[in-house]
Amino acid sequence: MNCTQCGGPLRLSTAHGPYLECDHCGSEFPLPDTPSGVDGLVPLGRPTEHHCPRCENGLELAVLDEAPIEHCGHCNGLLLEDQLFAVVVQERRWAYRGPEKVSPFDPAALESRFQCPSCERNMDRHPYNGPCNVVIDSCFGCGWIWLDAGELHRIEQAPGRRAAY
């Protein structure tokens, strides 16, 4: 996204709540209020230094639940820090009031391996240790979590404990 005042690049700022700020002229803009896709992120269209572990396209900055993350505009995967992942899952599961859905476990999902977009070592591919059958990718060295498109939504919808922790 670019500034409507000067055309400069916008960045996410949290000085007084999440908003977009122009690097060039300092103009401030509210976050777009139309989340994208099933996982509900707001893409900002600003490239990051990382590449998608699934399809190798460049990742872009996005906002998920008012926090900065990276996402792939091609395959719609999400890259976020492990601590943020834990907070997002907790808050979304607590707030979710829709129908609970059980996704079948697919053992073939454990077979592929991705490289961490940061350190380029193989990420650990494992079943999410929570109330669903989602397989996630973690880099324990860098603290990144990779979620394929829709996996966050599946975790949110899974049956099980929803109380605030």
List residues bridging with 146 in a β-sheet. 79, 137
Give the CA diameter of the chain: 51
Q: Is residue 26's pLDDT more than 60?
A: yes
139 backbone dihedrals φ, ψ, rounded to 5°: -110, 105
> Residue 80: CA atoms inside 13 Å, Cβ hemisphere, count?
26
Residue 22 has pLDDT above 90, yes or no: no
Which of 35 and 90 is assigned the larger pLDDT? 90
Q: pTM of this prediction?
A: 0.79
pLDDT at 36 over 80: no
Higher per-residue pLDDT: 5 or 85: 85
Q: How many CB atoms lie within 10 A of CB 56?
A: 12
pLDDT at residue 33 in the model: 60
* 71, pLDDT greater than 60: yes
Q: What is the mean pLDDT of residues 10-19?
A: 72
Give residue 34's pLDDT.
Answer: 56
Predicted pLDDT at 16: 66
**Residue ranges per structural domain of the chain:** 1-31, 34-157
